[in-house]
Amino acid sequence: MYRILKGKTLEKFTERLKKLNPNIIIDLDDKVFIILLEEKIIGYAILGTDKILKDIFIEESRRYSSFGTRIMEFIKNYLSAKGIDEIYLKRYSENTIFFKKVGFKECPESLYKVDDLIAREKRKKEGVKSTLISIGINIFLAVIKIFFGILGKSKALVADGFHSVSDIVGSIVVLVGIYLGNKPADEEHPYGHGKLESIAGNIIGVILVITAYSLIIENATDYFKETERLIPENITLVIVLISIVIKYILYRYKYNIGMRIKNDAVLADAREHKSDVLSSVGVLVGILLSIYVNPIFDLLLSMVVGLIIGKEGLQIIFQTSNNLMDAQDRKLIEEIERYVNSFGYIENAHDIRMKTSGNMIYLTLHIRLDGKMTIHEGHELADDIKYSILNKFEDVADVTIHMDCTI
């Protein structure tokens, strides 16, 4: 359990903190983050009003058990929620490896810092904003397509309207995926919750396939019925043209957002808008042919719309399923292999594997070292490689390195 102490609350805990570390220096204006285990304080970190980390201390018997890393993650999550983007640390001489591990990098003025703390929050806000815009536009398009499709006697336009309804459902799923997928990692979910984004994208694909199946079956049934074929009204052409323009703009907007924040669910939503554009173009052609050639084309194009929607849905399912099953990015793995092999004292890097969670990548790899190298030397070299990879490849969140040796 974590607590944040300041002011009078901090004053009440002063004696308990001094019992843990007699050398602690307490300023009541600072924030003190503590770890409680069965109501006992086992560690703390002190953050000054100038965003400088003044001290971090873990009970000696609890060290080397990740408590320091956990309290730093708690502090970073707390600050990001408050909109604070960075923490500073005065140049340290001890615990260099630990501070690198929790993300501190060298910066001017004799300081080290962890920055971009609110990147996750920015990513979430961009995804939420773009998805809310999608929902609003799709509600508008669904209403006018279905209304004018019925009024203008076009089954293809009505079908396209129900496609927009499925988009609304899909966007709601995306919203849920964004909110849950951007939750920070915790002890039960050390890789974070990013795979929920891929699950949300997968659900969108399934919704599209079901929508496509319904459209094809319904219109195929109508095709074989011997009923009077209605000729669509000209107003339906205007509605389809409006839909095409709006949907193309929305597709480009959401695609750019999805690529920037690397969110599977947002990209799936963007591809759904792309399928809307293609299906609406098909509807436009179908209505034109129905008016000027034969009314049967309205039904035929309704089925074509269904096929387009189904194809897009299957593509989304395959791509997001690959992410869920941790498909390997061979190009990235080869690039990392070349980079690691460029370090001295390494015979080779091999067995590189990657796991994805949302937009983050978790790597494991083996390095082969000279068998005469000490454990300490090998560990220092592995740390240098790890933090170099984290610095060079911004999407890599963590690296686990196993050391092999030559006999």
Cα angle 164-263-183, degrees, rounded to a multiple of 5: 110
Query: If 0-12 CB within 10 Å is exposed, 13-18 middle and 19+ buried, where does residue 231 land?
Result: middle
Query: Is the pLDDT at 58 greater than 60, yes or no?
Result: yes
Tokens of 88: 């500073």
- Tell me: do 169 and 316 sit in the same domain: yes
Q: What is the pLDDT of residue 108?
A: 67
Decide which of 292, 324, 356 is a domain's last residue.
Answer: 324
How many domains would you assign to the chain?
A: 3
Q: Are residues 209 and 289 in the same domain?
A: yes
Q: Is the pLDDT assigned to residue 110 strictly greater than 60?
A: no
Both 222 and 163 in one domain: the answer is: yes
CATH of the domain at 341: 3.30.70.1350
pLDDT digits (tens, 9 = 90+) for 220-240: 887 777 666 778 888 989 999
The pLDDT value given to residue 113: 61
Residue 77 confidence class, pLDDT cut points 50, 70, 90: confident
> Residue 389's pLDDT is what?
86
Give the pLDDT band (50/70/90) at residue 345: confident
Query: What would the two tokens of residue 406 be?
Result: 């030559």
Write down which residue in 291, 307, 324 finishes a domain: 324
Per-residue pLDDT at 202 = 87
Among the three residues 295, 324, 353, which one is the final residue of a domain in this structure? 324
Span 373-407, pLDDT tens digits: 888 888 888 888 887 887 788 778 889 999 998 76
Q: Which domain holds residue 217?
A: 119-324
Q: Tokens 């300490």 — which residue?
A: 376
CATH code for the domain in which residue 13 is found = 3.40.630.30
Q: Do residues 350 and 400 share a domain?
A: yes
Segment 201-216 mean pLDDT = 85
- Tell me, what's the pLDDT at 96? 64
Do 71 and 199 fall into the same domain? Answer: no
Residues 46 and 15 in one domain: yes
Identify the DSSP state of 60: G
Is 95 a residue whose pLDDT tops 80?
A: no
Q: What confidence tier does 117 reach under pLDDT thresholds 50, 70, 90?
A: low
